[in-house]
Structure 1
């Protein structure tokens, strides 16, 4: 199958970086393009005690700037390999991140979603949830879940 529109959700983690690298290789092989997507989740970063003005003038701009920087770094890595790439930053107001990724894939016309996954199992997965699992279950297009190679987790944690 030739993937022409590859959506990669990025969060700055080592697994996410590996997903970008894998997607870039697929895009090179198929002549496709990549869209990098980052979802900022302001609600996860507020205590509830901030004044609305502090939230809108300090918290949200800081999160947006960090998301844009993350996307820019990933975009540079993809572009260096000659793959057409663009970026999208979405602010999550009240939805699950997985839902936003699937909706964006549909809207953009993605024919593949590539995600880094930590491969959590058991109670850890139940407690933390799994956006990757939810995306894989609900996506109308194929989803490639990418894990770090064995031994890479320890190296990444030490970095």
Structure 2
């Protein structure tokens, strides 16, 4: 039985499928749900080490809106959800590491994440956060494929 479920979302349709699956599972198992969204501040850095404040804040606000909607979806289903916006702010950090670390820190029994199912050169170029989470996690990972 999973009492603490972490679901990672990015605003995509695939992540929405993962969120719905996590909500259904949390409802059936009477679990607590933690919804996380990761933004990458480093990608918004200028070469001189400065930031583009308007873009940075736009990404934060977009992330907060994604989390607000997820919390609303969970509440409508009768599931209590906590949300957290994670920010990559150091070189060498990546989304998968942050998701796994948050699951460890919060004592999650299960990580739910969507996968776009990329193959070939697209997978090589774009990488797979879901695949990295599966490799790094010390707890079960439920992978939800996009439709």
Match of 2:19 in 1: 20
SS in 2 for 1:15: helix
Long gaps (5+) in structure 1: 150-159
Match of 2:31 in 1: 32
TM-score (norm. length: structure 1): 0.85
Q: Establish whether residue 85 from structure 1 lines up as the match of residue 81 from structure 2.
A: yes
Q: Establish whether residue 63 from structure 1 lines up as the match of residue 59 from structure 2.
A: yes
Contact 2:117 2:146 in 1 (8 A): no
Deviation, structure 1 residue 60: 2.2
Match of 1:120 among 108, 118, 121: 118
TM-score (norm. length: structure 2): 0.92
- Cα RMSD of the aligned pairs, angstroms, is 1.6
- Which is richer in strand? 2
Change (3 A) 1:13 1:50: farther
Deviation, structure 1 residue 50: 8.3
Deviation, structure 1 residue 45: 3.7
| Structure 1 segments of 4+ aligned residues over 6 angstroms from their partners | none
SS in 2 for 1:12: coil
Superposition pairs of residues 131-150 of structure 1, within 5 angstroms:
131-149=129-147
Compare CA radii of gyration and give the structure with the larger one: 1
Distance 1:116 1:131 in 2: 9
Deviation, structure 1 residue 127: 1.1
Deviation, structure 1 residue 49: 6.2
Long gaps (5+) in structure 2: none
SS in 1 for 2:146: coil
Distance 1:61 1:50 in 2: 19
Distance 1:4 1:49 in 2: 44
